[in-house]
Amino acid sequence: MLAARLVETGKFIVLERRDLDAIKNEQALVGGGITVGADTILVGSITQFGRQHEGKVGFLNSQARQVASATVEIRLVESHTGQAFFSTTGSGSATTATSEVAGFGSQAAYDSTLNDKAISAAISDLMTNVMQKLAQRQWSTDILSVQNGDVMISGGTREGLQIGDRLSVARRGKLIVSRQTGLPIELPAQPLATIQVQGFFGSEDAEGARAIVIAGKIEGNIEELTVTSPTS
């Protein structure tokens, strides 16, 4: 449900584990080797779920309802370091009511759809927090190639890029494990150049941008370089 909500926003490329397994199996058959990477890993679970029946009985009428409630917890994990940087919890409930007057009315059977409705409501409750936190993350991408002065990068209009945007190119800092905490820490990146977007290519789900260097110089292994959000 959460994956579907993120896809519906049109702001994310969502990769599910079963999709990645299918891609790897297909690549093994055709001899391909395309690596699909993600910026953030979402880990979550239903931490609380329950159902109960509530009722009210009068002289000539009675009312009853089934209530399902759920709590969902989500953690966002940095894929590069494996470190969780945000967690949030959402709660929701769903009900179905029946009534009877002087022996006439409806009798509700067990409604299994209430389970999904309660979980869906819990996910809706936490979606705003997840969206805001992901939006706060600095946008970054990689360099595909450098050809005849043109710098080809991943990403395009779907990521909010526009022709004329200026982006920073830097060499990624070395990843070192802290002796104090045992957690990986990435050292500051080394600025190399500023590039300006000139155009786009590719498809909607696999779009790229063509840029030129307007300051500095791009050198070294492009796999060690990163491109970050427009500079002021």
| pLDDT(232) > 50 | no
pLDDT score for 22: 67
**87 DSSP assignment:** E
Query: 140-230: which CATH topology?
Result: Thrombin, subunit H (2.40.10)
Query: Which SS3 state, helix, strand or coil, does residue 146 take?
Result: strand
- The whole-angstrom separation of Cα 211 and Cα 156 is 11
Residues 96, 113 contacting (CB under 8 angstroms): no
Short-list 127, 199, 134, 211, CA closest to 168: 211
Both structure tokens of 134: 């992901």
Can you give the pTM of this predicted structure? Answer: 0.61
Q: How many Cα atoms within 13 Å fall on the side-chain side of residue 194? A: 8
Kindly state the average pLDDT of the residues 177-195: 86
- The whole-angstrom separation of Cα 13 and Cα 223 is 21
| pLDDT(105) > 50 | no
Q: Where are the domains of the chain?
A: 44-76+83-136, 140-230
pLDDT in tens, 43-59: 888 889 988 876 655 44
| pLDDT(76) > 70 | yes
pLDDT band at 164 (very low <50, low <70, confident <90, very high): very high
**Would the CA dihedral through 116, 117, 122, 128 be positive or negative?**
positive
Q: Which helix (H) or strand (E) holds 32?
A: none
